[in-house]
């Protein structure tokens, strides 16, 4: 029951950290409430996840390149527009000298790929289904109590990572507060087909009925994320498939021809939640437990993966030097390194939501200027592309294609 690292939560974030740590020889205890297989886990559903170019590099560094190539669809262009207003911003992989600006992958498939890779690691011990219920720390170790169908076990390690989602129990047990904002919006997620091919273009269209993302996915289909005010979303969910498609067509327009073959719609209420501290004695929060974002820019997991690649690098270095994996020096270094990127992405995402939902005339009037500036000013456009590709700021080794 003695480990180097205990991870609570085997969603996309916890599983990615477990894999990175195990590949460095760390003994990992992975505690997950939901029984396997991957398909049953909440975070491993049919949502389409946009992986940035940098995230694809990180996953490739974890040995998953072939899986990503097989399961993910490359995004060669991003087309951003506002309905009824002048101005479009187009990002193109050729202008950035890369094969793809990012990739779209089904969350269930990605979860399955991560769990499959974890199954090849003999130094990962699963406690599943089991729930972390208590935490205790002393000078040298952190101790976690886990409850598996009423049987309690105590696990000890140098470091505990809370990857247990936006409602994190670890965060609560550590007494870390959370700053939350309810956007009063709901994301409707579905899949459909269009009569015109997507040609590997991801569309983000801002409309008076919320932001619509249409992502290129496998078999020529499109992954839809329609972020609407909660009331409007409730009404849209009650529509028949044909009525829903008519509404979508009305708001998105005819750029992709006619829509059809709608797969079941799922709804996600949208909140921003940011932990008021990322670390505590021998503990760190990652993924949605640290920051759960509005999905408007497709940034949540991408940001989490850069955190994970950084933490894994610091742990790998500490292990090589034989130093303490849960020391406050290591955790402070992690927080300092990640702060700027986290603040930038949280601010960017939150601002985007507020600017595009604002009915205020001055804001609405300057919005087209933003599109125009991004189109006419190549350095600005390049900087937007770099951010979207997850290549801005100080990058960990995995995101620079270097081994851990
Ligand atoms: C509609 C939508 C679209 C999105 N699109 C994108 C996108 O395009 N790109 C992107 O980068 N991000 C996107 N995201 C964000 C992305 O889905 C999340 O950032 C990602 O899934 C990471 O989640 P997580 O692993 O941190 O948390 P979760 O998925 O919530 O996983 C937490 C895990 O912890 C387990 N757990 C909870 N409590 C305990 C406990 N006490 N003990 C043990 N285990 C516990 C849970 O069972 C769960 O498996 C999107 C999100 C939404 C809602």
pLDDT single digits (tens) 279-296: 999 999 999 999 999 998
Ligand 1 proximity of 111 Cβ (cutoff 6 Å): no
Tens digit of pLDDT for each residue in 123-145? 999 999 999 999 999 989 999 99
pLDDT score of 372 more than 60 = no
Ligand 1: which atom is nearest the Cα of residue 13? 25
Integer angstrom CA distances of residue 13 from 226, 299, 303: 24, 13, 10
In whole angstroms, give the CA distance from residue 264 to residue 241: 9
CA of 41 to the centre of ligand 1 (A): 10
> What's the domain count of the chain?
1
Out of 300, 345, 349, give the residue to mutate to test ligand 1, the one with the largest number of ligand atoms within 8 Å of its CB.
300
Is the residue at 22 inside a domain? yes
> For residue 45, what pLDDT is reported?
87
Q: Tell me the average pLDDT of the chain.
A: 92
> For residue 327, what pLDDT is reported?
98
* 34-38, 194-198, 362-366: least confident range: 362-366
Integer angstrom CA distances of residue 287 from 83, 96, 166, 171: 33, 28, 8, 12
- For residues 258-272, average pLDDT: 95
> For residue 209, what pLDDT is reported?
83
Reported in sequence order, the residue ranges of 101-229 that DSSP labels E, i.e. its strands, are 102-106, 124-127, 131-137, 142-148, 151-157, 159-162, 178-194, 201-207, 210-216, 222-229
Ligand 1 proximity of 131 Cβ (cutoff 6 Å): yes
Is the residue at 47 inside a domain? yes
In whole angstroms, give the CA distance from residue 357 to residue 363: 10
pTM: 0.95
Is the residue at 246 inside a domain? no
**Where residue 385 falls among pLDDT bands split at 50, 70, 90?**
confident
Is the residue at 335 inside a domain? yes
Ligand 1: which atom is nearest the Cα of residue 304? 19
Is the residue at 83 inside a domain? no
pLDDT score of 207 more than 90 = no
Is the residue at 207 inside a domain? no
CA of 163 to the centre of ligand 1 (A): 8
Is the residue at 234 inside a domain? no
Residues spanned by the domain of 346 = 5-73+103-180+271-363+394-400
pLDDT score of 386 more than 90 = no
pLDDT score of 278 more than 60 = yes
> For residue 365, what pLDDT is reported?
55
Ligand 1 proximity of 24 Cβ (cutoff 6 Å): no
Nearest CA to ligand 1 atom 31: 11
Residue 153 maps to which CATH number?
A: 3.50.50.60
- For residues 223-227, average pLDDT: 96
Is the residue at 87 inside a domain? no
């Amino acid at each position: 029951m003695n480990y180097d690292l205990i991870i609570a939560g085997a969603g996309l974030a916890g599983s990615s950290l477990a894999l990175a740590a195990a590949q460095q020889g760390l003994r990992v205890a992975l505690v997950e409430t939901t029984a396997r297989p991957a398909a049953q886990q909440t975070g491993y559903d049919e949502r389409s996840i946009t992986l940035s170019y940098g995230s694809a590099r990180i996953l490739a560094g974890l040995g998953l390149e072939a899986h990503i190539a097989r399961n993910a669809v490359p995004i060669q262009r991003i087309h951003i527009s506002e309905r009824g207003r002048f101005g479009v911003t187009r990002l193109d992989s050729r202008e950035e000298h890369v094969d793809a600006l990012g990739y779209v992958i089904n969350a269930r498939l990605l979860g399955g790929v991560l769990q499959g890779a974890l199954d090849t690691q003999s130094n990962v011990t699963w406690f599943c289904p089991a729930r972390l219920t208590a935490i205790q720390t002393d000078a040298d170790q952190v101790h976690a109590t886990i409850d598996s169908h009423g049987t309690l076990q105590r696990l000890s390690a140098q470091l505990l990572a809370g990857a247990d989602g936006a409602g994190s129990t670890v965060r609560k047990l550590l007494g870390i507060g959370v700053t939350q904002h309810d956007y009063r919006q709901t994301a409707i997620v579905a899949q459909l087909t269009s009569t015109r091919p997507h040609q590997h273009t991801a569309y983000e269209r801002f409309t008076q009925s919320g932001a619509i993302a249409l992502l290129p996915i496998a078999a020529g289909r499109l992954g839809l994320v329609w972020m609407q005010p909660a009331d409007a979303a409730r009404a849209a969910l009650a529509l028949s498939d044909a009525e829903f498609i008519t509404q979508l067509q009305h708001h998105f327009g005819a750029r992709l021809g006619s829509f059809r073959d709608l797969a079941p719609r799922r709804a996600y209420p949208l909140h921003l939640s940011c932990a008021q501290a990322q670390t505590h004695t021998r503990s760190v929060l990652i993924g949605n437990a640290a920051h759960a974002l509005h999905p408007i820019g497709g940034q949540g997991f991408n940001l989490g993966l850069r955190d994970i690649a950084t933490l894994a690098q610091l742990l790998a270095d500490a292990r090589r030097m034989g130093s303490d994996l849960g020391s406050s020096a290591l955790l402070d270094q992690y927080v300092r390194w990640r702060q700027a990127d986290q603040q930038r992405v949280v601010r960017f995402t939150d601002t985007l939501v507020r600017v595009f939902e604002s009915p205020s005339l001055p804001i609405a009037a300057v919005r087209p200027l933003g599109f125009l500036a991004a189109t006419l000013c190549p350095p600005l456009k390049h900087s937007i592309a770099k951010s979207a590709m997850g290549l801005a700021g100080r990058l960990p080794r995995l995101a620079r294609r270097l081994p851990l």
